Amino acid sequence: MESAGPRRSGIGGTQSGLRDHNERLVLSLIQRHGALPGAELARMAALSQQTVSVILRDLKKSGLVARGAPLRGQVGKPRVPMALVASGVYSFGLKIGRRSCDLVLADFHGTILAQRHVTYRFPDPGEVLGFLERGIKELSGSLAPDARLRIAGIGIAMPWQIWNWHEVFGAPAAELARWKDFDIAREIGRFSNLPVYVENDATAACRAELMHGSGRNCGDFAYFYVGSFVGGGLVLNNAVHEGRFGNAGAFGPLPAFDEAGRACRLLDVASLYRLEAAVAAGGKDLSTMWHEPQNWAAFEPHLSRWIDLSARELARSILNVAAVLDIEAAVIDGAFPADVRDRLVDLIRSDLGQFDQRGVNVPEIVPGCIGLRARAIGAACGPVLARYLLG
The full set of domains in the chain, from first to last, is 16-70+80-84 (1.10.10.10), 89-205+375-388 (3.30.420.40), 214-369 (3.30.420.40)
Percent of the chain at pLDDT exceeding 70:
94
Residue 334 clears pLDDT 50, i.e. is over it: yes
What average pLDDT does range 133-138 have in this prediction? 98
Do 201 and 96 touch, CB atoms closer than 8 A? Answer: yes
- pTM higher than 0.85, yes or no? yes
- Distance CA(108)–CA(221), nearest Å, equals 24
Average pLDDT, the chain: 91
In 3-state terms, what secondary structure has residue 117? Answer: strand
Query: Residue 168's pLDDT is what?
Result: 73
What average pLDDT does range 288-310 have in this prediction? 93
Nearest alpha-carbon partner for 93 in 184, 156, 177, 159: 156
Residue 10 clears pLDDT 50, i.e. is over it: no
Query: Residue 98's pLDDT is what?
Result: 87
- Distance CA(174)–CA(377), nearest Å, equals 30
**pLDDT-based confidence at 75, cuts 50/70/90?**
low
Query: Residue 272's pLDDT is what?
Result: 95
Residues 145-192: tens digit of each pLDDT: 999 999 999 999 998 888 887 777 777 888 888 999 999 999 999 999
Q: Give the number of other Cβ atoms within 10 Å of residue 2's Cβ.
A: 15
- Distance CA(219)–CA(208), nearest Å, equals 15
Query: Residue 17's pLDDT is what?
Result: 54
Query: Residue 74's pLDDT is what?
Result: 66
Contacts of 266 (CB under 8 A, 6+ apart): 230, 251, 252, 253, 254, 255, 256, 313, 314, 317
DSSP single-letter state for residue 190? T
Lowest mean per-residue pLDDT among 221-225, 245-249, 301-305, 363-367: 245-249
Query: Residue 3's pLDDT is what?
Result: 45
Of residues 166 and 214, the one with the higher pLDDT is: 214
**pLDDT-based confidence at 292, cuts 50/70/90?**
confident
Query: Residue 15's pLDDT is what?
Result: 57
Of residues 137 and 288, the one with the higher pLDDT is: 137
Query: Residue 2's pLDDT is what?
Result: 46
- Distance CA(61)–CA(255), nearest Å, equals 53
Query: Residue 215's pLDDT is what?
Result: 87
What average pLDDT does range 226-255 have in this prediction? 92
Q: Give the number of other Cβ atoms within 10 Å of residue 376's Cβ.
A: 31
